[in-house]
A and B are shown apart, each in its own frame.
Chain A
Amino acid sequence: MAKQEVFGKKPLQILEKIRENLERLNEKIEVMIELQKHTKKDVQMLPEAPLDVMTLLSMPDHLRKTAMTVCRLGRATAEEIAQQTHRARAVESAYLNQLVIMGYLKKERKGRKAYFYVDRESQG
């Protein structure tokens, strides 16, 4: 019985790992698709850019909605943001990752979940 558990666990762990990697790959593909959709002018790298209200005002509408929701919630997953904006989780995931690339948001992984937040303390 003990032997079966040892042998039985390994494939499960491997499958779990494959699933995690596929999810990350999926997120990256979503970002690439969104980057292509909105062309490069919307997505410029600004290292340590402060997400202040003037920045929010100058953002394209689709990103402003996501950024404002993160501001309001403080820290949230793509799923939680999607519930607020009534857009698809995959779409929010792409926008959130764009905002991370642009330097406005930070992303932190906890297990299988990715949390997005505004890092107000470390900037400046």
Chain B
Amino acid sequence: MGKIITVHSYKGGTGKTLLSLNLAVTLVKRGKKVCLLDLDFRAPSLSTILKIEKAEGWLNDYLNGTCGIEKVLINLSERFQNKGELFVGLANPATEAIRDISAKDRKWEMRALGRLLTLRNSLLGERGFDYLIFDTSPGLQYSSINAIVGADLVIVATTLDRSDVDGTRRMLNELYDLFEKKTEIVLNKAFLDVSSKSKREEVQAKFQEIYGAPLLGVIPCFCDVLRAEGNIVFVQERPEHPLTKILDEIADKIDNMP
């Protein structure tokens, strides 16, 4: 059976969506069948990046129990034309939908957890997906913790910002560890020299000590990624870009995890 990966962070703006989408497309390029689900209900962004305005069903509807997951999934395999297949499920970006999901009570969240957990059987089992990637809201949001509970691997996107480092360390001890989740760190927007293997190993050892969790990858701060303003799926459109190579290394590590 495939794996569920949850991409999470302590703070906003750490690059979760960029990482989730580019990782999903990288895995598709490697021939995998991938489903990327936007669980950032407070600030949905995948629909904007992918320029999809309408969906037959939103993930909000699926969690509300008003439609099945098949109505939510959009097949983007033709658009990306790779060896594998890519499906996405989107969060409703309408203000009313954001307000509605923010006002849900604990019983609704409990049911939402149940519906999220059933995706393991329905998508990984019956539909044969290799990877399910959950993009989440930052911090201790209900939907994000639900996604963490459902995950086989949690990837934490973090920056070198002090409050982000502290918050990430706290979450490692007080959240992921409590749920006994396999957790790996991706250091994003880093001003670090990782050009050689020895430099990368040095950074790896340093951050392993800081976080007490393995470092899955280091993504330097690329001006052209910022300049693209979320209009480009880098790993698809810029195969020679260093970001594409880093994502490929990350995907390789994930693919070889037991």
Residues of B within 8 A of A71 (CB): 113-114, 117, 149
A53–B142 contact, CB under 8 A? yes
Residues of A within 8 A of B109 (CB): 50, 52-53
Binding site for A on B (CB under 8 A): 105-111, 113-114, 117-118, 120, 142, 145-146, 148-149, 175, 178-180
Number of interface residues of A (CB under 8 A): 20
In this assembly, does A107 line the interface, its C-beta being within 8 Å of a C-beta of chain B?
no
* Chain B proximity mask over A34-63: 1 for CB below 8 Å, otherwise 0: 000000000000000011111111000100
Residues of B within 8 A of A124 (CB): 105, 107-108
Task: State the 9 A-B residue pairs at the shortest beta-carbon distance, nearest first.
Answer: A124-B107, A53-B145, A50-B110, A52-B110, A120-B114, A52-B109, A50-B107, A50-B106, A52-B106
The CA of A69 and the CA of B62, in the complex, are separated in Å by: 23
The CA of A68 and the CA of B149, in the complex, are separated in Å by: 8
Closest to B177 in A: A61
A53–B149 contact, CB under 8 A? yes
B146–A57 contact, CB under 8 A? no
In this assembly, does A64 line the interface, its C-beta being within 8 Å of a C-beta of chain B?
yes
B178–A57 contact, CB under 8 A? yes
Closest to A64 in B: B178
Closest to B175 in A: A57
Decide: A123 near B175, CB < 8 A? Known: A53-B145, A57-B145, A71-B149. no
A/B interface sample: 25 pairs, CB < 8 A? A50-B106, A50-B107, A50-B109, A51-B110, A52-B107, A52-B109, A52-B113, A52-B142, A53-B113, A53-B145, A53-B146, A53-B149, A54-B145, A55-B106, A56-B179, A57-B175, A64-B179, A71-B113, A71-B114, A71-B149, A72-B120, A120-B111, A120-B114, A123-B110, A124-B105
The CA of A71 and the CA of B180, in the complex, are separated in Å by: 14
Closest to B121 in A: A74
The CA of A61 and the CA of B148, in the complex, are separated in Å by: 17
The CA of A50 and the CA of B109, in the complex, are separated in Å by: 9
Residues of A within 8 A of B148 (CB): 53
Residues of A within 8 A of B145 (CB): 53-54, 57
The CA of A52 and the CA of B146, in the complex, are separated in Å by: 8
The CA of A64 and the CA of B175, in the complex, are separated in Å by: 12
Closest chain B CB from A25 CB (angstroms): 33
Q: Which of A54, A64, A68 contacts B106 (CB 8 A)?
A: A54
